[in-house]
Amino acid sequence: MQRHCEIGYRIAKSAPDLNHVADWILKHHEWWNGQGYPLGLKGEDIPLECRILSIADAYDAMTSHRPYRKAMSHDKAVRELKRCAATQFDPQLVQAFIKVVEKNRLMVDIRNQQ
């Protein structure tokens, strides 16, 4: 499973249309505290795009149904993101992500009430 970053990187490097995102694919499972993979990058050594992607990907994974488990509620997913801030995720980006998601949910609720 941990090799998928490297495999995706190699595929993207060989495709001209994906070459510019190859590095992001390689590093999108790095953790803020340096315990991620495949390179063990830490903090701001992880590209900003990868730090953003990891939060969005985790939220999507938690709030989507999977064959092996039901989707988690938004509130529970937000609690999990907060719990993992400063270990797995950039803590400032977690706060910003939650703010954007909350605003988006509020806008959807308002539209649905009209």
Check which CATH number belongs to the domain holding 26 and give it. 1.10.3210.10
**pLDDT tens string 60-109:** 999 999 999 999 999 999 999 999 999 999 999 999 999 999 988 877 76
Q: Report the alpha-carbon distance of residue 30 to residue 64 in Å, rounded.
A: 22
Tell me which residue range forms the domain holding 59.
4-113
3 state DSSP class of 17: coil
Question: How many Å apart are CA 74 and CA 109, to the nearest integer?
Answer: 14
Question: How many domains does the structure of the chain reveal?
Answer: 1
Q: State the Cα angle at 91 between 28 and 93, rounded to 5°.
A: 65
Taking the model in full, what pTM does it have? Answer: 0.87
**CA distances, 14 to each of 8, 65, 107 (Å):** 10, 32, 41
